Chains A and B, each alone.
Chain A
């Protein structure tokens, strides 16, 4: 067992029962260490979503063993997996999924309610995290008054506010124009430099170019790849 591993896949696979059975993810063995910035790339239908769902504890593998922070999560019950998801993983989605009719800071406060952070601390922590992603000045703006880039920064702040060991991003720039996408990627870069473990699932090679390590998924098979292979 590797002591500083965040994600450990040992022959993890996912088959959807048929007929015919679909091998969405072939048995895969890989490790993501603490502080790594990893891109998981592949065309649509390649098994990216299955990889994300299993990594994010939204789905269970049908084969192999998955350890998150050294814990065998397959043996855990549903409410324990929910707790682990809430405390150890921060999600960022393509569609942002901000609560409309709430301010930026209120959106960032949502995960802390489930994590049991004391009510009086939440506002201060949310504000600090918003400042960290460069949105301290927009804290009181309603979420539907924010631009796309601002929304994704709020979503990143929301994912970070519970100090998760893994930041899991699903097409984080999919709804953004090139310039805005670049600034969000720089934000992720910065988080990585601060030591945050980041996994980005994307079909976009430009996003992958920011990362230090790339995994290519094709027809459910996961390969380590190099910059050159993508270009």
Chain B
């Protein structure tokens, strides 16, 4: 080599790229918009998903994760006639002996035959009211443990207990909505409701039932009373057991319920346990993310085309500059690298702004929803780099075009 070669150092390259971006701030802003939106969408979707997922698991443990439901299936022969498989009389006690069970209760819907002229639920004795006074509410029978199992709270009065159940006392607990419709607000007057014409004393008004909100729309009588008056539950109104377990015990309790209830026929019950929290989380991730991530990817491609387009226009506009630089000692690769670093710089800028917007979105949504924002560093930290790669890819063709420009032609314009 007889002449020391010319080259553009890395710092000069960086400052040329920066100068190129700053020279036209308005155009640069519009150019990176697509990348900004794409990266922001990526970060926001992934951040919101991880935030929502952690939120789901919080709610999950408090209620759903501690609930097991048991329903009898099939038919059995009892005393010569075919009935649905029912719970043994001491089902509640059997289940409550299982480790991890807080409380358990059985309930079923009492399907009263419509007697013409007699309202299913009324505050007036039969024959004194008109049909208009009648209300048709759900009448339910339940064991005493049911109220504990559904996390019941009372606006007035109390739940019935084992005494009422075993002695078939004519008492009833009203759901709040029912009580309001019937005009019963206080219990010190010993109000009475007539269920299919039979009088029942109201001893409690239910205003909270976390596990079975439909109980608020029902009239609930002791199981023993209902059985004596209307007979045992039929196959059409299968009883159901709700078990309230300790946190984390639901799966194990579910495994033992059948055996505890009927050791000789463990296949007679259908047990519903909550889904495994990990499975649920994965499901949320895949379901929710795919659509939004696809949209983000489309946005990124649009952003890439935007950068490619602007850089190509810039190359054509700056043919004179390219010629001058070539005359001043720039090699083809110096020109190509200059435009490549400009487009990569634009992409990096878009990535940084987009990442910031994405993080702000996640935090804002979390604040509004009173959630804890959860953002994985694995997502956030490489996001600006992703923008730079987009820019780099977008710059490949324009940079190649720029490097092909012949200085002799470029300079005589």
Chain B residue nearest in CB terms to A94: B412
Given A91-B411, A97-B323, A97-B411, are A114 and B329 neighbors across the interface (CB < 8 Å)? yes
Q: Does B184 sit within 8 A of A, measured CB to CB? A: no
Chain B residue nearest in CB terms to A89: B327
Taken residue by residue from 311 to 352, chain B's Cβ proximity to chain A (1 for < 8 Å, 0 otherwise) reads as: 000000000110111111111101000000000000000000
Query: In the complex, are the beta carbons of B411 and A170 less than 8 A apart?
Result: yes
**Which one of B3-11, B263-271, B378-386 is at the A interface?**
B3-11
Query: In the complex, are the beta carbons of A79 and B5 less than 8 A apart?
Result: yes
Query: In the complex, are the beta carbons of B411 and A115 less than 8 A apart?
Result: no
The residue among A80, A110, A113, A115 with the most chain B CB atoms within 10 A of its own CB is A113
B1-39 contacts to A, CB under 8 A, are 1-9, 11-12, 16, 19, 22-24
Query: In the complex, are the beta carbons of A114 and B411 less than 8 A apart?
Result: no
Taken residue by residue from 58 to 77, chain A's Cβ proximity to chain B (1 for < 8 Å, 0 otherwise) reads as: 11000000000001000010
Q: Does A172 sit within 8 A of B, measured CB to CB? A: no
Q: Does A84 sit within 8 A of B, measured CB to CB? A: yes
Query: In the complex, are the beta carbons of B329 and A87 less than 8 A apart?
Result: yes
Given A97-B320, A97-B321, are A111 and B408 neighbors across the interface (CB < 8 Å)? no
Q: In the complex, what distance in Å separates the CA atom of A111 from the CA atom of B23?
A: 19
> In the assembled complex, which residues on chain A have CB atoms less than 8 Å from the CB atom of B334?
114
Query: In the complex, are the beta carbons of B412 and A82 less than 8 A apart?
Result: no
Taken residue by residue from 88 to 99, chain A's Cβ proximity to chain B (1 for < 8 Å, 0 otherwise) reads as: 110101010101
Q: Does B413 sit within 8 A of A, measured CB to CB? A: yes
Query: In the complex, are the beta carbons of A59 and B408 less than 8 A apart?
Result: yes
State how many angstroms separate the Cβ of B408 from the closest Cβ of chain A.
4
Q: In the complex, what distance in Å separates the CA atom of A95 from the CA atom of B302?
A: 37
State how many angstroms separate the Cβ of A130 from the closest Cβ of chain B.
16
Query: In the complex, are the beta carbons of A83 and B6 less than 8 A apart?
Result: yes
Q: Which of B6, B16, B321, B411 contacts A86 (CB 8 A)?
A: B6
Query: In the complex, are the beta carbons of A110 and B6 less than 8 A apart?
Result: no
Q: In the complex, what distance in Å separates the CA atom of A162 from the CA atom of B330?
A: 14
Query: In the complex, are the beta carbons of B330 and A114 less than 8 A apart?
Result: yes
Query: In the complex, are the beta carbons of B9 and A113 less than 8 A apart?
Result: yes
Query: In the complex, are the beta carbons of B325 and A114 less than 8 A apart?
Result: yes
Q: Does B125 sit within 8 A of A, measured CB to CB? A: no
Given A82-B331, A97-B324, are A115 and B412 neighbors across the interface (CB < 8 Å)? no
Q: Which of A78, A114, A170 contacts B328 (CB 8 A)?
A: A114
> In the assembled complex, which residues on chain B have CB atoms less than 8 Å from the CB atom of A114?
6-8, 325, 328-330, 334
Given A82-B6, A83-B3, A113-B12, are A58 and B328 neighbors across the interface (CB < 8 Å)? no
Taken residue by residue from 30 to 55, chain B's Cβ proximity to chain A (1 for < 8 Å, 0 otherwise) reads as: 00000000000000000000000000
> In the assembled complex, which residues on chain A have CB atoms less than 8 Å from the CB atom of B7?
114, 116
Query: In the complex, are the beta carbons of B2 and A82 less than 8 A apart?
Result: no
> In the assembled complex, which residues on chain B have CB atoms less than 8 Å from the CB atom of A97?
320-321, 323-324, 411
Q: In the complex, what distance in Å separates the CA atom of A50 from the CA atom of B230?
A: 114
State how many angstroms separate the Cβ of B378 from the closest Cβ of chain A.
38
Q: Does B407 sit within 8 A of A, measured CB to CB? A: yes
Query: In the complex, are the beta carbons of B327 and A56 less than 8 A apart?
Result: yes
Given A93-B411, A97-B320, are A83 and B5 neighbors across the interface (CB < 8 Å)? yes
B268-325 contacts to A, CB under 8 A, are 320-321, 323-325
Chain A residue nearest in CB terms to B410: A97
Q: In the complex, what distance in Å separates the CA atom of A95 from the CA atom of B325?
A: 14
> In the assembled complex, which residues on chain B have CB atoms less than 8 Å from the CB atom of A113?
8-9, 12, 16
Q: Which of B320, B331, B407 contacts A95 (CB 8 A)?
A: B320
Q: Does A101 sit within 8 A of B, measured CB to CB? A: yes
Query: In the complex, are the beta carbons of B321 and A58 less than 8 A apart?
Result: no
Query: In the complex, are the beta carbons of A91 and B327 less than 8 A apart?
Result: yes
Chain A residue nearest in CB terms to B12: A113
Q: In the complex, what distance in Å separates the CA atom of A93 from the CA atom of B12?
A: 24
Q: In the complex, what distance in Å separates the CA atom of A97 from the CA atom of B324?
A: 7
The residue among B2, B22, B323 with the most chain A CB atoms within 10 A of its own CB is B2
Query: In the complex, are the beta carbons of A110 and B327 less than 8 A apart?
Result: no
Q: In the complex, what distance in Å separates the CA atom of A110 from the CA atom of B12?
A: 10
Query: In the complex, are the beta carbons of B5 and A80 less than 8 A apart?
Result: yes
Query: In the complex, are the beta carbons of B6 and A58 less than 8 A apart?
Result: no
Query: In the complex, are the beta carbons of A79 and B408 less than 8 A apart?
Result: no
A93-126 contacts to B, CB under 8 A, are 93, 95, 97, 99-102, 110-111, 113-116, 119
Q: In the complex, what distance in Å separates the CA atom of A88 from the CA atom of B327?
A: 11
> In the assembled complex, which residues on chain A have CB atoms less than 8 Å from the CB atom of B321?
97, 99
Chain A residue nearest in CB terms to B5: A83
State how many angstroms separate the Cβ of A171 from the closest Cβ of chain B.
9
Query: In the complex, are the beta carbons of B331 and A79 less than 8 A apart?
Result: yes
> In the assembled complex, which residues on chain A have CB atoms less than 8 Å from the CB atom of B11?
119
State how many angstroms separate the Cβ of B106 from the closest Cβ of chain A.
82
> In the assembled complex, which residues on chain A have CB atoms less than 8 Å from the CB atom of B411?
58, 91, 93, 95, 97, 170
Query: In the complex, are the beta carbons of A102 and B1 less than 8 A apart?
Result: no
Q: Does A180 sit within 8 A of B, measured CB to CB? A: no
Q: Does A49 sit within 8 A of B, measured CB to CB? A: yes
B377-413 contacts to A, CB under 8 A, are 406-408, 411-413
Q: In the complex, what distance in Å separates the CA atom of A59 from the CA atom of B24?
A: 34
Q: In the complex, what distance in Å separates the CA atom of A110 from the CA atom of B3?
A: 19
Q: Does A85 sit within 8 A of B, measured CB to CB? A: yes
Given A58-B408, A97-B324, A114-B325, are A71 and B330 neighbors across the interface (CB < 8 Å)? no
B66-82 contacts to A, CB under 8 A, are none
What would be 7 A-B contacts, judged by CB atoms less than 8 Å apart?
Answer: A58-B408, A59-B408, A78-B331, A82-B6, A95-B320, A99-B324, A114-B334
13 extra interface residue pairs, beta carbon distance < 8 Å, beyond A71-B2, A91-B411, A101-B23: A56-B327, A80-B1, A83-B4, A83-B329, A87-B329, A91-B324, A95-B411, A97-B411, A110-B324, A111-B329, A114-B6, A116-B7, A116-B9
Q: Which A residues are closer than 8 A to B by beta carbons?
A: 49, 53, 56, 58-59, 71, 76, 78-80, 82-89, 91, 93, 95, 97, 99-102, 110-111, 113-116, 119, 158, 162, 170
